[in-house]
Amino acid sequence: MAEARLSINSRNYGSWSLRGWLLCRMAGLDVAVDMVSADDPTGRAELLLLSPSFLVPCLTHGGIKVWDTLAIAEYLNELKPEAGLLPDDRAARAHCRSISGEMHSGFSNLRSALPMNLRAHYPAFKVWAGVQADIDRVAAIWRECLAKYGGPFLFGDKPTMADAMYAPVCTRFRTYDVKLDSDCAAYCAAIIALPAMEEWAEDAKSEPEEVEELDVEF
């Protein structure tokens, strides 16, 4: 029997679900996945960015329930400190928490205009100005971290909380053919090549349910 359970709403569309699952994998937590139906009003509202709070994913472990991805990250860091979800250095930890929080609460234009859709690909997708500002900010965060901590991940040679938070953005940039400089493109490639990411993407291919509003033709 798995050590914990994680409720998710979609592998193909669920960016918050992907973050929570990646955090569990990075922490080495044995977790079984429970899928919330796309017909569930709460789960669907989150996928369509209509929910005021993120209730999925939800981690259940030892009788404790934790929802909201940042709360899951902090819980897992306490549970499995040896996994290194946060850097050892205090200044780096503060930096990691700051850019994770920025991803958690910001980039609304990017979220709404470039929804996560792993099964889709839109070559030469037209990005409007409001979204480009978000893309530029994400790229600036990545470049600063890669230069400061040496890569290939944002805080060095192993993934952290921040990489889990930005992983769905890497998939969005691939789906919508967003042009990146060489450093950011290499970072995206490193994230997408993670075994956990490859497993998630493979499972997304066979996910039967579709959310029509997120599967439109651009």
160-199 pLDDT, tens digit per residue, is 999 999 999 999 999 999 999 999 999 999 999 999 999 9
Q: Is residue 62 part of a domain?
A: yes
- Looking at the fold, whether 71 and 147 belong to one and the same domain comes out as no
- Looking at the fold, whether 64 and 97 belong to one and the same domain comes out as no
Domain at 160, CATH number:
1.20.1050.10
Number of compact structural domains in the chain: 2
- Looking at the fold, whether 114 and 184 belong to one and the same domain comes out as yes
Domain at 29, CATH number:
3.40.30.10
| Cα–Cα dist 7/56, whole Å | 6
Number of Cβ within 10 Å of residue 47's Cβ equals 24
Tell me, yes or no, if the pTM score tops 0.85. Answer: yes
Q: Is residue 79 part of a domain?
A: yes
Judge if the upstream peptide bond of residue 168 is cis by omega within 30 degrees of 0.
Answer: no
**Per-residue pLDDT band at 158 (split at 50, 70, 90):** very high
Q: Is residue 205 part of a domain?
A: no
Q: Residue 218 class from Cβ within 10 Å (0-12 exposed, 13-18 middle, 19+ buried)? A: exposed
Q: Decide which of 21, 54, 83 is a domain's last residue.
A: 83
- Looking at the fold, whether 106 and 143 belong to one and the same domain comes out as yes
Q: Is residue 14 part of a domain?
A: yes
Q: Which domain holds residue 10?
A: 4-83
**Per-residue pLDDT band at 217 (split at 50, 70, 90):** very low
44-61 pLDDT, tens digit per residue, is 566 555 555 568 899 999
